[in-house]
């Protein structure tokens, strides 16, 4: 069996049980290693055209049957010019394939997370090759490889303080036409540590706000003294593209990260966020399906829309040096800022982890650099414990 035919078979057996995002990751991993498994370059199609045909048709179970003639001709060439799977029994070929899996398209080394993910995909694919009796052993096991050094720690340079965050939210409101509708979206990420794919999937019944109280002395309804609300939600909607989802939607609706289907997460809504959400819901209401955040035309909120608004707001609210830095460069950095604020505010790590949807171990691994002042507190406590009784 040729490597191309094997890849198509592997994609098909993985398709049903994989998320849309993992389907795309499998396709990209296989695309990266195709050049290392070519037996000939004679008549080779343009590299970009070949990658497009592989991604859109060959390595996409859903779309392969609709492959147009021009792409089919390219894929026919690839099929005829890839080495057999058993060529991977040669250590040199196997190493070339693994090197390709860990490289970007320009040949430079990919990010550590990408290298690990692609290597894992290749390992699993070659286990399937053994299952089909195309290989006697998995080449990945036989080749010595040193895992790239990686860190999951968040650089505190990307974390905004509260003054900067409020300045950014004010700048968002000025970005027409989408800005006014997106203030609450960014605020819920900053104040409640939601992931963007969680925020975009919120429904009205996921939000509980405290009822207003009547101030008879002035004849108005006001925010209550205990102005805390709560979010309770159990799903997210990851934007991946209609070609990878089962139902042709741009987003794939999934359970929360690292949680089983049906599990929920509760997050407190601090008073500043309570006020922002109440104002937003009064002004804009919700979409037809109860979705809280939507685009101008009331459709699903596209990530390109909120990323563009965020970039413009950063340009308006930050100094040129701040804008050029990592400070709140990604929308996701607002979540990091929230978690850092909770930790530095003295909230117990176990509670922070629960609200953020992390394990405690991951929390400390990711946010170790963002916990300001904890070392000094620890030193003072040690001094107190070691101080002799009666010592001043």
Q: For residue 88, tell me if it sits in a domain.
A: yes
Q: Does one domain contain both 214 and 90? A: no
d(CA 232, CA 154): 26
Q: Does one domain contain both 96 and 32? A: yes
Q: For residue 115, tell me if it sits in a domain.
A: yes
Per-residue pLDDT tens digits for 118-177: 999 999 999 999 999 999 999 988 887 665 665 566 777 899 999 999 999 999 999 999
Q: Does one domain contain both 262 and 236? A: yes
Q: Does one domain contain both 162 and 206? A: yes
Domain with 250, as residue range(s), is: 158-330
Rg of the chain (C-alpha set): 26
Q: Does one domain contain both 192 and 44? A: no
With contact defined as beta carbons under 8 Å apart, do 102 and 110 qualify? yes
- pLDDT of 377: 56
Task: Give the E-state strand segments of the chain in sequence order.
Answer: 207-208, 213-215, 220-222, 229-233, 235-239, 251-255, 265-269
Q: How far is CA 198 from CA 32, 59, 193, in A?
A: 31, 29, 10
Q: What is the DSSP string of 227-258?
A: --EEEEE-EEEEE--TTTSTT--SEEEEEPTT
Count: domains in the chain: 2
- pLDDT of 155: 76
For residue 253, the number of C-alpha atoms closer than 13 Å in the C-beta half-sphere is 11
Report the candidate in 21, 78, 45, 42 with the shortest Cα–Cα distance to residue 253.
Answer: 21
Per-residue pLDDT in tens (0 to 9) along the chain, 392 residues: 999 999 999 999 999 999 999 999 999 999 999 999 999 999 999 999 999 999 999 999 999 999 999 999 999 999 999 999 999 999 999 999 999 998 888 778 888 888 889 999 999 999 999 999 999 999 988 887 665 665 566 777 899 999 999 999 999 999 999 999 999 999 999 999 999 999 999 999 999 999 999 888 888 888 888 899 999 999 999 999 899 999 898 898 888 887 777 789 999 999 999 999 999 999 999 987 899 999 988 888 999 999 999 999 999 999 999 999 999 999 999 999 999 999 888 899 999 999 999 889 888 888 876 655 455 555 666 777 777 555 54
Per-residue pLDDT tens digits for 305-330: 999 999 999 999 999 999 999 999 99
Q: How far is CA 366 from CA 14, 62, 123, 348, 370, in A?
A: 31, 37, 27, 16, 9
193: Cβ contacts below 8 Å, ≥ 6 apart: 267, 335, 338, 339, 342, 355, 356
Q: Does one domain contain both 243 and 270? A: yes
pTM of the predicted protein model: 0.83
CA angle 358, 152, 326 (to 5 degrees): 105
d(CA 334, CA 196): 10
Q: Does one domain contain both 320 and 180? A: yes
Q: Does one domain contain both 116 and 223? A: no
Q: For residue 387, tell me if it sits in a domain.
A: no
- pLDDT of 223: 86
β-pair partners for 239: 251
Q: Which of 275, 306, 330 is the last residue of a domain?
A: 330
Cis peptide before 177 (omega within 30 of 0): yes
Q: Which of 296, 311, 330 is the last residue of a domain?
A: 330
Q: Does one domain contain both 9 and 84? A: yes
- pLDDT of 392: 46
With contact defined as beta carbons under 8 Å apart, do 82 and 3 qualify? yes
d(CA 317, CA 328): 11
Residue 312 maps to which CATH number?
1.10.443
Q: Does one domain contain both 133 and 162? A: no
Q: For residue 152, tell me if it sits in a domain.
A: no
- pLDDT of 245: 93
Q: For residue 267, tell me if it sits in a domain.
A: yes
Q: For residue 354, tell me if it sits in a domain.
A: no
Q: For residue 105, tell me if it sits in a domain.
A: yes
Q: For residue 147, tell me if it sits in a domain.
A: no
Q: Does one domain contain both 187 and 112? A: no
Q: Burial letters for 12-50: b for 16+ Cβ neighbours within 10 Å, e otherwise?
A: eebbeebebbbbbbbbbbbbbbbbbbbeeeeeebeeeeb
Strand, helix or coil for residue 195: coil
Q: Which of 330, 349, 376 is the last residue of a domain?
A: 330
Q: Does one domain contain both 89 and 169? A: no
């Amino acid at each position: 069996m040729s490597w191309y035919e094997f890849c198509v078979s592997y994609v098909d057996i993985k398709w049903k049980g994989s998320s849309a995002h993992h389907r795309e990751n499998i396709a990209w991993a296989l695309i990266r290693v195709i050049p290392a498994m070519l037996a000939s370059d004679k008549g080779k199609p343009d590299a970009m055209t070949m990658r497009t045909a592989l991604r859109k048709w060959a390595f996409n179970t859903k779309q392969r049957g609709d492959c147009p003639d021009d792409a089919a001709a390219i894929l026919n060439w690839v099929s005829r010019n890839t080495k057999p799977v058993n060529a991977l029994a040669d250590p040199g070929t196997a190493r070339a394939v693994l090197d390709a899996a860990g490289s970007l398209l320009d040949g430079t080394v990919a990010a550590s997370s990408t290298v690990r993910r692609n290597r894992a995909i290749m390992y699993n694919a070659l286990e399937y090759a053994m299952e089909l009796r195309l290989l006697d052993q998995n080449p990945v096991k036989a080749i010595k490889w040193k895992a790239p050094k990686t860190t999951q720690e968040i650089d505190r340079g990307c974390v905004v303080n509260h003054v900067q965050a409020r300045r950014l939210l004010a700048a968002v409101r000025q970005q027409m036409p989408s800005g006014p509708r997106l203030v609450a979206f960014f605020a819920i990420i900053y104040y409640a540590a939601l992931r963007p794919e969680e925020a975009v999937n919120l429904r009205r019944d996921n939000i509980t706000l405290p009822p207003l109280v009547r101030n008879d002395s002035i004849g108005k309804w006001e925010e209550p003294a205990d102005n805390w609300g709560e979010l309770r939600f159990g799903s997210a909607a990851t934007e991946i593209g209609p070609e990878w989802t089962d139902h042709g939607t741009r987003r794939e609706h999934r359970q929360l990260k690292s949680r089983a289907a049906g599990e929920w997460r509760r997050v407190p809504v601090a008073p500043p966020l309570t006020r922002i959400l109440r104002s937003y819901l009064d002004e804009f209401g919700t979409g037809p399906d109860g979705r809280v955040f939507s685009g101008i035309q009331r459709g699903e909120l596209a990530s390109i829309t909120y990323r563009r608004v965020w970039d413009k707001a950063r340009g308006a609210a930050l100094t040129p040096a701040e804008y050029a830095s990592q400070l709140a460069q990604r929308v996701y950095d607002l979540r990091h800022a929230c978690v850092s604020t909770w930790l530095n505010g003295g909230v117990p790590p176990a509670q922070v982890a629960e609200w953020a949807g992390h394990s405690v171990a991951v929390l400390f691994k990711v946010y170790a650099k963002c916990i300001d002042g904890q070392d000094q507190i620890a030193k003072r406590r040690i001094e107190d414990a070691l101080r002799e009784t009666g010592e001043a």
